[in-house]
Structure 1
Amino acid sequence: MAPVRKARSSNNKLERWEVALVKRFISSTGLNDQDILAYFTRPTRSINHARISEIRGETKHRGVEAASEEALADFIASWPHLDPTTGLHVRGDELLIKAREAMLAAVQGFNNPRAQFKSELFIVTAVIAFTYLLHWHYRRNGVDIRHKRTNGGVEEVVKTRHGADKHWELEECLRHPGCPLDEPTKTNLGFLIAIRHEIEHQLTNRIDDAISAKLQACCLNFNRAIKEIAGAQYGLDKEMGLALQFSTIDRDQRNILLQETDLPAHIQAAQIAYEDALTDEMVADPRYAYRVAYIEQSVNSKGKADQVVEFIRGDSERGEKLRLLLKDTERPKMKPKQVVDQMKKEGFRRFNMTAHTKLWQSVGAKDRGKAYGVTLADGSWYWYPSWLDHVRTYLSERGDEFR
């Protein structure tokens, strides 16, 4: 893969289709360089008049053919051709406009109360949004995003079935050394892509609860990325709101939902396989999975009567108390392999996954009321420390059988 080359600033570079129009302006109108230049500048973009002089003097862009008379007429008729929402040029910044629209569509689709495949719809559309954003970025920075291959010692551009250039998919955009996204954002997208591949062309049960934290992180990551890459004025902050709910949900209802997620086994396997390769720091990073605790509250002042959700800074006094409360309420959890590994560290070297499975099955450790563990939103069973104590006692009573 070719290294990233530092390209001329996008603010003073004409694209190929614009060069063609400039040539037609020069040959078919009596406009001077400054008048022609006025058609290609806008508040968010500045073009140096020397670019027009280079074309007129044929010192650059000799290989670009002039646009047709019809193309010039259409260009002038539609000028300035700006998107009313963003002020972006509809043709020159088409990918950036589509990136914003795609992510908005992803959020709107997920928030649609009648949608039956929210997560699937969000993932597909969000992948398109990030692909458009990165394509826009790479093109503006002179990176060739076309797939290429070597045929008979000659490098050629890969074509689609109908003859168009084949451009990078999102995975290739993320692998490029010049990718502007941070590692947690790329990891989050990698997870969503893995899930998308797993559910393509397959019937799936609802997976919204299991991966919603990743979807929310993806949403926030896109907003941050588009502002960093294109400019703060293109963020979606003011266009994304909280989805309203028609009813509240109590703890018993929530527990039932989590126990009966019916998350397909192949999706569980894909999620576990992906996350097992990640560090604990990455899994806990809010850019990978964004988790929020909603706390029902009663207000004692009129000023807060209409406030549905209150956000508390984590470093504030209330935030610290809330963190300690949640930490005390939510017990530590361990996967089965972690239980086995811990017992081996304590000297029970012969204790393995098979023995562990036989043990919990023999005592019905997963039965309701035993309080040895819990099924989380990802569909996986996690053991509490009380089960670890039970296993330790059981192994200790067996003497050298497992040592």
Structure 2
Amino acid sequence: MHAYFRSKKIDYRHFSMIGGRKKYDTTKRGAYKWWELERCLNCERSPVETDAANNLRFLVGLRHEIEHQMTSKIDDLLSARFQACCLNYNTLIKKLFSEKLGIDKHLSFSLQLSSLSDSQVDMLSDQPGLPKNIQKFIEGFDGALSREEFNSPKYAYRVLFVAKTANNFGQADRVIQFVKPGSELAEKVNTEYTLLKEIEKVKYLPSEIIDKMKTEGFKFTMHDHTLLWKKHGAKEDGKNFGTTVSKTWYWYESWVNLVRQHCEKHREDQRDIPW
């Protein structure tokens, strides 16, 4: 980022305005204080597109949360974000400076030195040992993104790997083969190997649930929704119907399904719903 700003003659030093003049911030030994990554991303002339910037802001925020409280479970849970960051870095280096400066020709793929057992897959999904502050940060950051931003490969690069054997003895076989998303084979793989996919729960605001029910032809108001979740105690611990993100409650798909079942059950008389 600094190299790019320098090429565009953008001043990336911290300063304060005193008497109409810039006073640059310096260290105790007189060195300039340069913009950190977050400040670079916030610059209007930043060359980093939105989804890649979201990825970096997530990793910077995660770093602030972790500090010296590193947990061994974090790499497995967030590997998709780390992979996206590497790809974004390589893409931007080549875009801003030169194709020959890309690092992909030196190291295309890292090697996975162990396979995952079913018990390990279950452990990765639950992440029981993840510190609460990190878990809350992840939920808060993801919850603030739109669905398109969250699913962007530049925010989190998710790939499903399946062991493959050669068809014939002595047949050369590439260690990694990519299947086109949306193809018949890709859909089959996603269906048969859902345990190996990174599972991220979709979150809904109450207003989104109301709109969804109206779109499906039900008469369902915010008042109806409030009465329904209070009746079921849906926000109680252990119900797993939703979660709090940055002081705002979000509902999971499981709650949307319950709301839909309720509306279908009382479709004939939506004006007088028996709570």
Question: Which category describes the TM-score, using the shorter chain as reference length?
Answer: 0.7 to 0.9
| Secondary structure of the structure 2 residue equivalent to 1:287 | coil
3-state secondary structure, aligned to 1:155: strand
2:17 to 122, 141, 150: 150
Residue equivalent to 2:222:
349
| CA shift digits 1:85-140 (9 cap, x unpaired) | xxxxxxxxxxxxxxxxxxxxxxxxxxxxxxxxxxxxxxxxxxxxxxxxx1112112
Shift of 1:340: 8.6
- What's the counterpart of residue 16 of structure 1? none
Deviation by residue 1:176-198 (Cα, 9 ceiling, x = unmatched): 22222222211211111121222
1:226 equivalenced with 2:99 (yes/no): no
Q: CA deviation at 1:338?
A: 6.3
2:63 to 196, 205, 214: 196
Partner in structure 1 of residue 79 of structure 2: 212
Distance 2:17 2:235 in 1: 57
Match of 1:263 in 2: 130
Distance in 1 of aligned mates of 2:67 and 2:186 = 39
Deviation per CA, 1:234-262: give whole Å up to 9, x if none: 11012224333333223343123322442
Partner of 2:183: 320
CA distances 1:320-377 after superposition (whole Å, capped 9, x unpaired): 0133225556599543756993587541534349638725869x766xxxxx99xxxx
Q: Give the drift of 1:161.
A: 2.2
Aligned counterparts, 1:122-133, within 5 A: none
RMSD (Å) for aligned C-alpha atoms: 3.6
> For 1:269-284, what aligned pairs fall within 5 Å after superposition?
269-284=136-151
Cα deviation for residue 388 of structure 1 reads 4.4
Give 1:306 deviation, angstroms: 4.5
- Tell me if 1:400 matches 2:267: no
Gaps in structure 2 of 5+ consecutive residues: 243-249, 267-271
1:205 Cα deviation from its structure 2 partner: 5.7
Corresponding position of 2:203: 335
Q: Counterpart amino acid of 1:341?
A: I
Matched residue, 1:297: 164
% identity of equivalent residues? 32
Task: For residue 239 of structure 1, give the secondary structure of its aligned residue in structure 2.
Answer: coil
Deviations 1:39-71 (CA, angstroms, capped at 9, x unpaired): xxxxxxxxxxxxxxxxxxxxxxxxxxxxxxxxx
SS of 2:22's equivalent in the other structure is strand
Deviation at 1:304, TM superposition (A): 4.6
Letter paired with 2:183: E
After superposition, the C-alpha distances for 1:125-159 in whole angstroms (9 at most, x for unaligned) are xxxxxxxxx11121123222211211233322111
**Taking CA–CA contacts closer than 8 Å with sequence separation of 6 or more, which of the two structures ends up with the larger relative contact order?**
2
Change (3 A) 1:335 1:138: closer
Partner SS, residue 178 of structure 2: coil
Q: Aligned residue for 2:269?
A: none
Partners of 2:5 and 2:39 lie apart in 1 by: 12
In structure 2, C-alpha distance between the alignment counterparts of 1:183 and 1:361, rounded to whole Å = 36
Distance in 2 (alpha carbons) for counterparts of 1:205 and 1:171: 26
- State the partner residue of 2:246: none
Aligned partners of 2:203 and 2:253 also within 8 Å: no
How many angstroms apart in 1 are the aligned matches of 2:23 and 2:35?
15
1:299/1:305 contact within 8 Å kept: yes
**1:394 deviation in Å?**
5.5
Given the alignment of the two structures, is residue 251 of structure 1 paired with residue 126 of structure 2, yes or no? no
2:245 corresponding residue in structure 1: none
1:187 aligns with 2:54: yes
Following TM superposition, by how much is the alpha carbon of 1:313 offset from its aligned partner in structure 2, in angstroms? 3.2
Shift of 1:203: 5.3
Unpaired stretches in structure 1, ≥5 consecutive residues: 1-133, 367-371, 374-380
**How many residues end up aligned between the 2 structures?**
251
TM-score by length of 2: 0.74
**Higher-Rg member (1/2):** 1
Report the AA paired with residue 310 of structure 1.
Q
